[in-house]
DNA sequence: CGGTTACCCTGGATGC
DNA sequence: TGCATCCAGGGTAACC
């Protein structure tokens, strides 16, 4: 579920609960979700550590510990999220941060268990892992950098936006919002976008993500919630996702839900009129 | 290298 | 009502 705005909302909610606090114990309820470090080392080595900082890297949550206790990375993937305040222990808890003085628990919950926990002994190792998996953050990438990365591939532009190595943070919901905002068809060839089109695309990314962060993310069904268990409000104000058959906010025509090549089975929402597949004056119209 | 596909999981919604 | 099927915000590995 969580894309950049949802993860950013989680991180903002986690900071006051975790930063400066001592972890009395880490409880890992599903060891198969831990990667790259032995269960025993992960758990025993973190007991007593103090959380120095909580941050975000693309769609990953980064928990930096003080005094050489290393860096915990949590990838929520599809159904992961955190809970701070619940009347009872929430469902599907996979990792618990137990805090002392005063006693408190921060729960990581993940119905489908697709999420992953990583641990790195220091910033160098964490940086190396980030660099291996992710390009620049979608909120920070410059226009020229984006242009160069698009020029490098003949993939369709939507799969390129979803490739975390190109830029980090955009997922299936926000890719559609961004492409609509920039009036680009998701199947346009990345390397064939004109400088003006790349400019529109770049100009759309930050405002769309910022708007979603203000709304505290996008919630539907029993999926993503804030750390307080509240729904994010983005799907009440968005333009595309989940709006098949409803009027396009630009032209009033019906929004189409479809599947496109290059993505496994994920839905794509677009307005065929506002996001034409062929460039208006293109000569290679088929 | 670039691109495609299977697969990891489970719960909720939909269809018969 | 009960059961089968489909669907989902992500990411990796294997393959062509």
A242 touches strand B (CB under 7 A): no
The CATH fold of domain A143-270: Helicase, Ruva Protein; domain 3 (1.10.8)
Low-confidence ranges of chain A (pLDDT < 70): 1, 279-286
CATH architecture of A4-133: Alpha-Beta Barrel (3.20)
Q: Which of A191, A170, A185 is nearest to A269 (CA)?
A: A185
Q: What is the pTM of this model?
A: 0.95
A155 touches strand B (CB under 7 A): yes
Show which positions of strand C are touched by protein (CB under 7 A): 7-12
Q: Which of A171, A241, A238 is nearest to A7 (CA)?
A: A171
Show which positions of strand B are touched by protein (CB under 7 A): 2-13
Predicted confidence at residue A222, as pLDDT, reads 85
Predicted confidence at residue A261, as pLDDT, reads 81
Q: Nearest protein residue to B13's C1' (by CA)?
A: A221
Q: pLDDT digits over A179-199, tens only?
A: 999 999 999 999 999 999 999
Give the β-pairing of A60-65 and A71-75.
antiparallel
A132 CB-contact burial (10 Å; exposed 0-12 / middle 13-18 / buried 19+) = exposed
Predicted confidence at residue A58, as pLDDT, reads 95
Predicted confidence at residue A159, as pLDDT, reads 95
Q: Which of A46, A56, A57, A59 is catalytic?
A: A59
Q: How many CB atoms lie within 10 A of CB A157?
A: 27
Predicted confidence at residue A221, as pLDDT, reads 87
Predicted confidence at residue A8, as pLDDT, reads 98
Rounded to whole angstroms, what are the CA distances from A138 to A59, A73, A114, A274? 10, 19, 23, 24
Predicted confidence at residue A143, as pLDDT, reads 97
Domain boundaries, chain A: 4-133, 143-270
* DSSP characters over A138-151: TTT--HHHHHHHHH
Predicted confidence at residue A285, as pLDDT, reads 33
Predicted confidence at residue A279, as pLDDT, reads 64
């Amino acid at each position: 579920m969580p894309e950049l705005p949802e993860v950013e909302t989680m991180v903002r909610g986690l900071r006051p609960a975790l930063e400066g606090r001592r972890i009395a114990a880490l409880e890992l309820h599903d060891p198969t979700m831990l990667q790259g470090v032995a269960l025993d080392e992960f758990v025993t080595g973190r007991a007593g550590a103090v959380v120095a900082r909580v941050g975000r890297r693309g769609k990953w949550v980064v928990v930096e510990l003080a005094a050489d206790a290393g860096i915990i990375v949590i990838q929520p993937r599809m159904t992961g999220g955190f809970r701070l305040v619940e009347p009872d222990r929430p469902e599907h808890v996979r990792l618990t941060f137990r805090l002392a003085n005063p006693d408190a628990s921060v729960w990581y919950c993940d119905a489908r268990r697709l999420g992953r926990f990583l641990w790195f002994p220091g910033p160098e190792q964490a940086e190396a892992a980030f660099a291996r998996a992710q390009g620049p953050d979608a909120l920070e990438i410059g226009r020229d950098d984006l242009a160069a990365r698009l020029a490098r591939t003949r993939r369709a532009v939507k799969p390129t936006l979803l490739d975390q190595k190109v830029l980090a943070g955009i997922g299936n919901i926000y890719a559609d919002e961004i492409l609509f905002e920039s009036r680009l068809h998701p199947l346009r060839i990345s390397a064939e976008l004109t400088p003006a089109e790349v400019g529109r695309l770049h100009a759309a990314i930050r405002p769309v993500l910022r708007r979603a962060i203000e709304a505290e993310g996008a919630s539907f069904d029993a999926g993503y919630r804030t750390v307080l268990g509240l729904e994010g409000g983005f799907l009440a104000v968005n333009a595309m996702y989940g709006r098949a058959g409803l009027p396009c906010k630009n032209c009033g025509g019906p929004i189409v839900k479809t599947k496109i090549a290059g993505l496994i089975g994920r839905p794509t929402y677009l307005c065929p009129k506002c996001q034409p597949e062929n460039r208006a004056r293109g000569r290679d119209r088929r």
